[in-house]
């Protein structure tokens, strides 16, 4: 099992891709720290992991609040003394024309989607042992997007730039950093997207993936099997970008 005796911290672990990732890491022996805002959803993720024989705890954390991030990392380190895998999955979207978007919403989205990645990387790195890994969840919107989601697309493009830049600051034998860019995935975020509902963003059901398929890709990137993969983005989209 690839994550035996490894402490795996996952943001956005209460639903969708994040939950599937937590379940996958737990099934492969990891001790999973599930981060999210909703305690009930977090408890359900923990239940799924422990029911299958894995180890997991939930810690509530609002990623828009830097103090909350600092506090939760301190709790994780006090309990486990290290972090072997960091998966930054949590994200939010807005669906307004930029000219109509309150800049407070722009700032909130960037706090959740981008600043939290930087802060978690900064806080966790000193406590990540040799062979550790960071996986940031991007999106095909970093490469090809639609109207009305400019802040989200911007944050994901910046996330991939962050990954490339940080890879130059890290020794891959100590800590690797990579991104995974999902396409359309069967999650609440996809089906609640107004652009999807009104047809602005066309979704071919043949290229809608499952959270479990993304979790498999994330687990690979976080595992020692990907020891020579560093500073890049793995697109997992069912061939969506290739069709453009």
The predicted-structure confidence for 138-188, as pLDDT tens digits, reads as follows 999 999 988 899 999 999 999 999 999 999 999 999 999 999 999 989 887
241 vs 9: which has the higher pLDDT: 9
Residue 156 within any structural domain of the chain: yes
Lowest mean pLDDT among 69-73, 125-129, 221-225, 235-239: 235-239
Query: What's the pLDDT at 240?
Result: 77
Domain that holds residue 138: 7-243
Residue 42 within any structural domain of the chain: yes
CB 85 within 8 Å of CB 132: yes
Does position 63 have pLDDT exceeding 90, yes or no? yes
- Tell me the pTM: 0.95
Start-to-end C-alpha separation, the chain: 38
Say how many domains are in the chain: 1
Does position 244 have pLDDT exceeding 90, yes or no? no
Q: Domain containing 40 — which CATH number?
A: 3.40.50.720
The predicted-structure confidence for 196-218, as pLDDT tens digits, reads as follows 777 776 777 777 899 999 999 99
Does position 194 have pLDDT exceeding 90, yes or no? no
Q: Is the dihedral of CA 102, 187, 40, 22 positive or negative?
A: negative
Question: What share of the chain in percent tops pLDDT 90?
Answer: 85
Residue 124 within any structural domain of the chain: yes
Catalytic residue at 152? yes
**Of these residues, 19, 42, 46, 152, which one is catalytic?**
152
**How many Cβ atoms from other residues are within 10 Å of residue 200's Cβ?**
14
Residue 1 within any structural domain of the chain: no
Paired tokens of 191 = 């089906």
């Amino acid at each position: 099992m690839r994550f035996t005796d490894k402490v795996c911290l996952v943001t956005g672990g209460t639903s969708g891709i994040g939950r599937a990732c937590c379940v996958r890491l737990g099934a492969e022996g990891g001790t999973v720290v599930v981060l999210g805002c909703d305690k009930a959803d977090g408890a359900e993720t923990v239940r799924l992991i422990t029911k299958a024989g894995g180890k997991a705890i939930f810690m509530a954390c609002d990623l828009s609040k830097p103090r909350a991030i600092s506090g939760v990392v301190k709790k994780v380190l006090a309990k486990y003394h290290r972090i072997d895998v960091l998966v930054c999955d949590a994200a939010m979207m807005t669906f307004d024309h930029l000219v109509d978007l309150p800049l407070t919403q722009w700032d909130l989205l960037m706090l959740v989607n981008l600043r939290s990645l930087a802060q978690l990387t900064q806080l966790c790195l000193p406590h990540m042992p040799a062979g550790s890994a960071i996986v940031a969840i991007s999106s095909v919107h970093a490469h090809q997007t639609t109207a009305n989601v400019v802040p989200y697309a911007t944050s994901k493009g910046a996330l991939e730039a962050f990954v490339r830049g940080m890879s130059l600051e890290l020794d891959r034998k100590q800590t690797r950093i990579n991104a995974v860019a999902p396409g359309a995935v069967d999650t609440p975020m996809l089906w609640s997207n107004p652009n999807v509902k009104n047809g602005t963003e066309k979704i071919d059901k043949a290229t809608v993936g499952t959270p479990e398929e993304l979790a498999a890709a994330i687990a690979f990137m976080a595992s020692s099997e990907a020891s020579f993969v560093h500073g890049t983005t793995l697109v997992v989209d069912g061939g969506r970008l290739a069709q453009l």
